[in-house]
Amino acid sequence: MSGIPSAGPQPADLWPEVQPDAARRLMLAGVESFAQRGYHATTTRDIAATAGMSPAALYVHFPSKAALLFAISRSGHEQVLSLTQQAVAEAEDPAAAIRDLVERFTAWHARRHTIARVVQYELEALPEQEYAVVASLRRDIERLVRDVVERGVAAGLFTVGDPHTAARAVLSLGVDVARWYTDRTRLGPEELAREYGELVLRMLGATTGDGA
Amino acid sequence: MSGIPSAGPQPADLWPEVQPDAARRLMLAGVESFAQRGYHATTTRDIAATAGMSPAALYVHFPSKAALLFAISRSGHEQVLSLTQQAVAEAEDPAAAIRDLVERFTAWHARRHTIARVVQYELEALPEQEYAVVASLRRDIERLVRDVVERGVAAGLFTVGDPHTAARAVLSLGVDVARWYTDRTRLGPEELAREYGELVLRMLGATTGDGA
DNA sequence: CAGCAGTGTAAGCGAGCGCTCAGCGCGGAT
DNA sequence: ATCCGCGCTGAGCGCTCGCTTACACTGCTG
Same domain, A50 and A99: no
Say if residue B13's pLDDT is above 80.
Answer: no
Q: What is the CATH number of the domain that holds B36?
A: 1.10.10.60
Say if residue B9's pLDDT is above 90.
Answer: no
B11, part of any domain:
no
What average pLDDT does chain B have? 92
Same domain, B58 and B95: no
Q: Would you call A176 and B176 a contact, using CB atoms and an 8 Å cutoff?
A: yes
Q: Judge whether A211 is closer than 8 Å to chain B, CB to CB.
A: no
Contacts of B121 (CB under 8 A, 6+ apart): A121, B38, B178, B179
Say if residue A32's pLDDT is above 80.
Answer: yes
Asked if B187 and A165 touch (Cβ cutoff 8 Å), the reply is yes
Q: Would you call A169 and B173 a contact, using CB atoms and an 8 Å cutoff?
A: yes
B156, part of any domain:
yes
Last residue of a domain, one of B46, B62, B78: B62
Domain count, chain B: 2
Q: For residue A21, with 0-12 CB atoms within 10 Å meaning exposed, 13-18 middle and 19 or more buried, which class applies?
A: exposed
A6, part of any domain:
no
Q: Three-state DSSP class for B24? A: helix
Q: Any atom of strand D under 7 A from CB of A60?
A: yes
A137-162 pLDDT tens trace: 999 999 999 999 999 999 999 999 99
B82-121 pLDDT tens trace: 999 999 999 999 999 999 999 999 999 999 999 999 999 9
A85/A209: higher pLDDT: A85
Same domain, B125 and B166: yes
Same domain, A53 and A104: no
Radius of gyration of chain A, Cα coordinates, nearest whole angstrom: 19
B87/B2: higher pLDDT: B87
User: What are the start-end ranges of the E strands in B46-184?
Assistant: none
Question: Residue A14's pLDDT is what?
Answer: 74
Same domain, B139 and B58: no
A 54-93 near B (Cβ less than 8 A): none
Same domain, B57 and B77: no
Q: Would you call A192 and B160 a contact, using CB atoms and an 8 Å cutoff?
A: no
B2, part of any domain:
no
d(CA B203, CA B197): 10
Structure letter (DSSP) for residue A204: T
Question: Residue B17's pLDDT is what?
Answer: 77
Same domain, A122 and A75: yes
Q: What is the CATH number of the domain that holds A142?
A: 1.10.357.10
Containing domain of residue A95, as a range?
65-203
Question: Residue B20's pLDDT is what?
Answer: 87
Measured at the alpha carbon of residue A168, what is the angle toward residues A166 and A170, in degrees to the nearest 5?
70
Question: Residue B7's pLDDT is what?
Answer: 38
A3, part of any domain:
no
Question: Residue B19's pLDDT is what?
Answer: 75
Chain B residues 4 to 63 whose Cβ lies within 7 Å of strand D are 42-45, 55-56, 59, 63
Question: Residue A7's pLDDT is what?
Answer: 38
B158-209 pLDDT tens trace: 999 999 999 999 999 999 999 999 999 999 999 999 999 999 999 999 975 4
Question: What distance separates the 2 farthest-apart alpha carbons in chain A?
Answer: 60
Q: Three-state DSSP class for B3? A: coil
Min mean pLDDT across A17-21, A58-62, A127-131, B57-61 is at A17-21
Same domain, B55 and B32: yes
Say if residue A164's pLDDT is above 70.
Answer: yes
B20-70 pLDDT tens trace: 899 999 999 999 999 999 999 999 999 999 999 999 999 999 999 999 999
Neighbouring CB atoms inside 10 A of A39's CB total 25
Q: For residue A26, with 0-12 CB atoms within 10 Å meaning exposed, 13-18 middle and 19 or more buried, which class applies?
A: buried
Contacts of A28 (CB under 8 A, 6+ apart): A10, A14, A15, A51
Contacts of B61 (CB under 8 A, 6+ apart): B20, B22, B23, B26
Same domain, A161 and A90: yes
B12, part of any domain:
no
Say if residue B210's pLDDT is above 60.
Answer: no
Tell me what percent of the residues of chain A surpass a pLDDT of 70.
91
Same domain, B77 and B115: yes
A5, part of any domain:
no
Question: Residue B2's pLDDT is what?
Answer: 37
Q: Which nucleotides of strand C are protein-proximal, with an atom < 7 A from a CB?
A: 6-12, 16-22
Q: Would you call A203 and B199 a contact, using CB atoms and an 8 Å cutoff?
A: yes
Same domain, B82 and B126: yes
A206/A113: higher pLDDT: A113
Nucleotide nearest to A59 (CA to C1'): C19
Question: Residue A1's pLDDT is what?
Answer: 39
Same domain, A47 and A77: no
Nearest CA in chain A to B160: A199
Last residue of a domain, one of B13, B44, B62: B62
B16, part of any domain:
no
